[in-house]
């Protein structure tokens, strides 16, 4: 299905001719950047050109969203800790069919499009095959006119940039956001609150009915930034939504007035650490904790965003949630989304366990990226209990029911099979097996190629 109707027929569509683009670029240069044609830098021209193109992609994005709401489509939600996007200006110009018009428009202004394209830095959102696969999937989804949202983290510094000094690698922060980015749009109306730490209490009402409450938690705010994903020769423009971590209370005025000038900003600094860099060093316990917090932060924001859209756009009960929302887990980094959705369905929506679990399994799919058992992600039970106590309880219950109702029934008396398939690895430090959780909580699991998928079934999960 292709979006064709305009969201608001009273607003004229932006023109795509060389003259239209020339006017848009010149206006952004003058009125957005306060620059002059004669003295503007190459960076100024890059930003102005990108914003002129972005205006047109946002026009298409508005039409896409209106069309999707009107037709109650099923939307793909792609969860990935990284996206290797590359440079967007050239990609968006070619995909939107604007390359030649932009080149002519800039030439008439005395500028060279190729030189302007070279001015764009890579977004610091990914560093390898996992991130490139995610970016390619988003591009393909838009090209095929399939409604989708990519979800990830708005890293301030990404991974790192490197140089060699005296034969040794030296790492520096990748400050890709330092000068701003013309493709990003902050969406404060869609910010989310994320809870962490605390403890779990069981409470009873006057009739003896019990409820589980997660209390005494710390809060983070997730601020979303949207980046348009333009399909090739397509009317669909999907969105990559990235979450930036912020403190619930940025500034403690009382501590500041008492002379604790640095301590007054401690909560702000600690919160912002969550979205500082991709893959913080996990050689220390604090590094491991930051990684787990980082992973939960982005999936909690994303699940809340999906549910908000479900309630707004569809007059349906929870049984129909998988009919309109599909969630693809790119590797195990977002696997904690499975117990998070279970927590919401059981604790907040009051669904029975079996009903909630059926919804989860129909909603999630999982892509595995490694066949090496030692490379599969695990988290110590002690760390999980400290950071996400309610989620650990849910994982334990998922595991108990799986082992009792499925594994023991199929392989009675086989303790080795119970150990191999358990979500909890007890061979050393007691830990949660995130790949096992991802497979069990999904209705489909695949590798990154057909052979990978075959080997996944034969060797890793026989």
Quickly list DSSP for 267-278.
HHHHHHHTTTBS
Q: Residues 184-222: pLDDT tens digits? A: 999 999 999 999 999 999 988 777 788 899 999 999 999
The pLDDT value given to residue 407: 94
Write 370-373 long-range contacts (CB < 8 A, 24+).
371/447, 371/452, 371/455, 371/456, 371/459, 371/460, 373/460
Is the pLDDT score of 444 beyond 90? yes
- Regarding the domain with residue range 293-462, which homologous superfamily does it belong to in the CATH classification? Glycogen Phosphorylase B; (3.40.50.2000)
From residue 71, give the alpha-carbon distance in Å to each of 201, 303, 308, 314, 316: 42, 22, 18, 10, 14
Q: Residues 279-325: pLDDT tens digits? A: 888 889 999 999 999 999 999 999 999 999 999 988 889 999 999 99
Q: Comparing 54 with 268, which gets the higher pLDDT?
A: 54
Tell me the residue length of the chain. 462
The per-residue b/e assignment along 43-77, b for 16 or more CB within 10 angstroms, e otherwise, is ebbbbbbbbbbbebbbbbbbbbbebbeeeeeebbb
The pLDDT value given to residue 5: 46
The pLDDT value given to residue 338: 99
- Apex 100 CA angle, 99 and 103, nearest 5: 85
The pLDDT value given to residue 92: 96
Residues 6+ apart with CB under 8 A from 297: 153, 194, 196, 220, 222, 243, 245, 274, 275
Model confidence at 12, pLDDT cuts 50, 70, 90, reads confident
Q: Residues 17-53: pLDDT tens digits? A: 999 999 999 999 999 999 999 999 999 999 999 999 9
Selection from 379, 300, 368 nearest residue 328 by Cα? 368
- Rounded distance, CA 343 to CA 321, Å? 15
- Rounded distance, CA 343 to CA 353, Å? 10
- Rounded distance, CA 403 to CA 235, Å? 48
Is the pLDDT score of 264 beyond 70? no
Model confidence at 263, pLDDT cuts 50, 70, 90, reads low
Beta strands in 187-321 (DSSP E): 192-196, 199-204, 210-215, 218-230, 237-247
- The token duo for 214 is 């997660």
The mean per-residue pLDDT over the stretch 75-101 comes to 96
The pLDDT value given to residue 176: 80
Model confidence at 390, pLDDT cuts 50, 70, 90, reads very high
The pLDDT value given to residue 101: 98
């Amino acid at each position: 299905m292709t979006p064709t109707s305009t969201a608001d027929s009273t607003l004229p569509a932006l023109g795509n001719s060389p003259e239209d683009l020339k006017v848009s670029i010149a206006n952004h240069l003058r009125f957005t950047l306060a620059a002059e044609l004669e003295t503007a830098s190459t960076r100024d021209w890059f930003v102005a050109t990108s914003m002129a193109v972005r205006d047109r992609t946002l026009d298409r994005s508005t039409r896409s969203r209106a069309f999707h709401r009107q037709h109650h489509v099923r939307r793909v939600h792609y969860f990935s800790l990284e996206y290797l996007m590359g440079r967007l200006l050239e990609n968006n110009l070619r995909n939107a069919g604007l390359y030649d018009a932009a080149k002519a428009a800039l030439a008439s202004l005395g500028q060279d499009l190729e030189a302007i394209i070279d001015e764009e830095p890579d977004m610091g959102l990914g560093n390898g095959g996992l991130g490139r696969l995610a970016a390619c999937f988003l591009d393909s989804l838009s090209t095929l006119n399939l409604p989708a949202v990519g979800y990830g983290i708005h890293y301030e510094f990404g991974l790192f940039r490197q140089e060699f000094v005296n034969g040794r690698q030296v790492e520096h922060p990748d400050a890709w956001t330092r000068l701003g980015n013309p493709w990003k749009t902050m969406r404060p109306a869609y910010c989310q609150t994320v809870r962490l730490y605390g403890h779990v209490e069981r409470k009873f009402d006057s009739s003896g009915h019990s409820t589980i409450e997660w209390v005494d938690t710390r809060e983070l705010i997730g601020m979303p930034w949207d980046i348009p994903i333009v399909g090739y020769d397509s009317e669909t423009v999907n969105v990559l939504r990235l979450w930036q971590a912020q403190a619930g209370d940025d500034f403690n005025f009382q501590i500041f007035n008492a002379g604790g000038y640095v301590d007054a900003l401690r909560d702000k600094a600690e919160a912002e650490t969550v979205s500082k860099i991709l893959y913080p060093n996990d050689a220390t316990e604090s590094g491991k904790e930051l990684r787990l917090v980082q992973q939960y932060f982005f999936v909690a924001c994303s699940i809340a965003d999906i549910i908000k859209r479900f309630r707004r756009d569809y007059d349906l009960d929870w049984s129909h949630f998988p009919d309109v929302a599909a969630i693809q887990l790119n590797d195990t980094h977002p696997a904690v989304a499975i117990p998070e959705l279970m927590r919401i369905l059981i604790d907040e929506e009051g669904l029975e366990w079996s009903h909630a679990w059926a919804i989860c399994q129909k909603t999630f799919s999982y892509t595995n990226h490694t066949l090496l058992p030692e490379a599969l992600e695990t988290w110590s039970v002690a760390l999980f209990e400290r950071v996400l106590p309610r989620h650990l309880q849910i994982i334990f219950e998922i595991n108990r029911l799986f082992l009792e109702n499925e594994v023991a029934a199929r392989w009675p008396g086989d303790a080795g099979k119970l150990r191999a398939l358990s979500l909890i690895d007890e061979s050393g430090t007691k830990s949660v097996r995130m790949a096992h959780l991802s497979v069990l909580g999904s209705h489909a699991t695949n590798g990154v190629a057909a052979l990978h998928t075959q080997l996944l079934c034969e060797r890793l999960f026989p």
